[in-house]
C-alpha cells in the first residue's frame, strides 16, 4: 500500500528500535509501558499487526492494530513530527482500518489521552467520533494506578 511517497507494510524485527524511537518522538511511550514488549506481543499474538510507513526507506509513521475478537483497536498511531501534514497519519489510519476490516471487524476504537487535544481534530477529520466512556483499569501485578 502506498500514499504517493509513503510505502506501508508490516514491521519487521529489524524495525523495533526505529519504532520505539518514532513513538518516543511522538510522545506515545510512557514509563509504565514497554513499547518493545508491546511490539513483540502484538507480532506474536496472531490477532494484531504493526504497520509502518516508510518515506525514502526511512520509517516515518506507524500504527499497531489489534482485533480483540469483538472489535478492532488502534494503538501507537504516530507520524514523525517533522513529516506531519503530508497525509501520512490518514494513510496509516486507512491501512489499519483495512487490516481490521479484512479480519471481519466492523468497528475500530482507540483511546486518546485527555491532554492530547491536538490529535482530536485529526481523528474527527478522519471520520472518527467521540464516544463518552469511563475507562477502568487494573494492573494484574498489583502495581499502583498510573495516569
Q: What is the pLDDT of residue 3?
A: 56
Q: Which of 55, 41, 38, 50 is nearest to 2 (CA)?
A: 55
Q: Which of 6-20, 79-93, 116-130 has the lowest mean pLDDT?
A: 116-130
pLDDT at 25 over 90: yes
Decide if 49 contacts 9 (C-beta within 8 A): no
Give the pTM: 0.90
Domain-wise residue ranges, the chain: 2-125
**Is residue 4's pLDDT more than 70?**
no
Task: Say how far apart CA 57 and CA 115 lie, in whole Å.
Answer: 32
Residues 2-125, CATH architecture = 3-Layer(aba) Sandwich (3.40)
Amino acid at each position: 500500500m502506498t500514499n504517493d511517497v509513503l510505502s506501508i507494510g508490516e514491521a519487521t524485527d529489524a524495525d523495533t528500535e526505529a519504532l520505539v524511537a518514532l513513538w518516543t518522538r511522538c510522545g506515545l511511550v510512557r514509563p509504565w509501558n514497554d513499547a518493545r514488549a508491546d511490539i513483540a506481543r502484538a507480532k506474536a499474538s496472531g490477532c494484531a499487526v504493526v504497520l509502518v510507513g516508510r518515506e525514502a526507506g526511512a520509517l516515518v509513521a506507524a500504527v499497531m492494530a489489534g482485533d480483540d475478537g469483538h472489535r478492532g483497536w488502534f494503538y501507537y498511531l504516530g507520524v514523525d513530527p517533522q513529516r506531519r501534514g503530508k497525509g501520512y497519519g490518514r494513510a496509516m489510519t486507512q491501512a489499519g482500518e483495512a487490516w481490521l476490516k479484512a479480519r471481519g471487524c466492523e468497528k475500530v476504537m482507540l483511546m486518546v489521552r485527555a491532554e492530547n487535544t491536538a490529535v482530536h481534530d485529526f481523528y474527527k477529520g478522519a471520520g472518527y467520533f467521540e464516544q463518552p466512556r469511563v475507562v477502568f483499569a487494573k494492573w494484574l501485578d498489583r502495581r499502583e494506578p498510573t495516569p
